[in-house]
Amino acid sequence: MKTTVDGSIRRKIEDVLNEAVRALGVEGELPDLELGRAKATERGEYASSAGMKLARVLKQAPQQIASRLAETIVVPDGAATVEAVAGYVNFRLTPQWLQRLVAEVTATGPTWVAASGCRSSSQASTQLGPCISATVVEQSWATPSAGFSNSPSMTSSGSIT
């Protein structure tokens, strides 16, 4: 299965988060749900304070709202898991999705950076999907094929090897 690289994974997460908020009955203009990079890696790659932002609108506890959102959200392509913690909705990119993305980048070669919408490999090394750490893949292109596997693996800390 081809991993979707048109548009960022952040955009896809934002879309499903907004859909889940609408499914809870929030109408009109949505508040800023503050989706961004998680401050601590143990919380995942992305986090939103949606539970706290919607508590007044829905007249419910932030943790309850975050839990309902986490139960509802399904990120496309199995790209991320979702959990609620203290009113936050946290998104953790799955190893399987990251491995598919790295395999796609590897198969496409140096042209992937341009095709993905990344302006440069330095941008690719600082952002997640579609500009996900292309420096890892660039290093693999320079490595003799005898030592390279088409099945990248991840360390326990989430680094791609």
pLDDT at 151: 44
* Domain limits, the chain: 9-93, 95-147
Name 74's Cβ contacts closer than 8 Å, sequence gap at least 6.
16
pLDDT at 105: 82
pLDDT over threshold 60, residue 136: no
Rounded mean pLDDT, 112-121? 56
Count Cβ atoms below 10 Å from residue 15 Cβ, excluding itself: 13
Which token pair is 68? 């309902």
pLDDT at 109: 74
- CATH code, 9-93: 3.30.1360.70
pLDDT over threshold 90, residue 130: no
Rounded to two decimals, the pTM is 0.69
Reported in sequence order, the residue ranges of the chain that DSSP labels E, i.e. its strands, are 36-37, 46-48, 80-85, 88-93
